[in-house]
Each structure stands twice: as C-alpha cells, then as structure tokens.
Amino acid sequence: MSGIRLNKYIASSGICSRRKADELIEQGVVSVNGKIVKELGFLVQEKDKIFVNKKLIRPVKHEYYKFYKPAGYITTCDDEKGRKTIYDLLPETLYGLKPVGRLDRESTGLLILTNDGELINQLTHPSIKVPKIYIVSVDAKVSRNELEKLANGVEIEPGKIAYADISVLEIDNKHTLMQITLYQGMNRQIRKMFETIGYEVKTLKRIQHATISIEGLKRGEFKPIKPKQIKELKNFLNRIAK
C-alpha cells in the first residue's frame, strides 16, 4: 500500500524540516496510532494519527508570500524592547508565517514568508549556497583593491570569514553603489564586511533570494508567490544542493 514517508508528513505540519523530523523519530518521540516508530523510512496513511512529543499533528496547507520590508522594522514576531516588527505591517492571517532569514532594522527589501519548514531549512542551511542579491550604497569611493579584498574573504568575527561577489553600478569620489551577492548567512554580514575596510553602509536592500525577486512589490507591500514560482524555486534548490 502506498503512503507518505513519516518525516515528510511531520515536515508538512510545519513544525520542522525533514532532517529535524528524522532526528525526532530517532529520539523516540514520534508515535503512529499509539506506537513509537523509530524507522526512518516508515510510511503512514492519511487515516493514521501521528503524535510528536504526545501532541497530535496534522498537515497544513503551505503558504508562500513575498514582502518588501521597509526600514525601521525588525524581522521577528515580537520584541521585548517594544520596537516595531514586520508583523505590525502584516494582516493577522499571515501571523503564522515565518520569515526566511532576516534583515536588520535599517535594511530594506525582500523577505520570503512561509509555513513550509522544509523550504525554510533549504533556503537557510549553511551547506546549501543559496544566492541572495542586494543593492548597497556607501558614501565614499571604494577602490577596486578593497572590493577584491571583500570578494576574497575578510574576517568579520573571530574565526568567521565572509566573502561576496560585488559588481559596481555607480561610482564617483563621494559615492559607490554596488550589487552584492551573498552565499552565506552571517548576521549583518555586509555591514560588518565594509566595517573591516573602514566604510559604513548607508543603504542596503535585498532584491532577490534564490529565484524569488522583489519585482512587482512596493515598500511595505506583500503578495502571494505563484505556485509556478514555488516549483521553480524548489527545483533550483534541489539542483544546487546536489
């Protein structure tokens, strides 16, 4: 009889990725119809009752949105300090969706919002070099040698080497506008990279994450991502993960 793999069923509930689901199964905290299951390839049926840590789970309908984050908002559900969050700009119907990665408070641009735990894991796992593209400005003329240094990698924290692909879009004696592509996911990575060579980033906007772009969005606006685009995104991630 055909069925769905247990780890995929757990991931479809939105609580974690398939990889994490495998860990939960091995830990013996997953049961099917009242019996603990530790077999990673175990198949379940639609009528089966699956519990994780004694809590019944159900598959949820996956939702995918893209959002143009303005400056002045932090990327979290709530904040103990009372700062404005992106959820202040979103309807309650989207509160159950999580941002894929973060943008710091003064940065702007694309955020993918979803309840698809498997997709979040693929887009953020350090072993998968997912490209993220930004438009960045510095109020100074940045030399070619300095940009090459950033491309080759600089230490932004003890033991943490950060690098980026950089293309100059505009440059004069007082201004440099660049397109920067990251394949890592370090906290405030671009800002820290420029700090190492003595510059302060003035503006930073993410315009693309993997195959999803900010095109068609105004600042503060959100839109559902089309099923065709999600299919293209997942195919892209599967290719680069090999």
Q: CB count, 10 Å around CB of 131? A: 14
Phi-psi region of 159 (alpha: psi -120 to 50; beta: other; left: phi over 0): left
Cα separation, 190 vs 82, in Å, equals 26
Whether 104 is catalytic: yes
Catalytic residue among 88, 104, 139, 165: 104
Cα separation, 98 vs 190, in Å, equals 23
Residue count (the chain): 242
| Catalytic site positions | 104
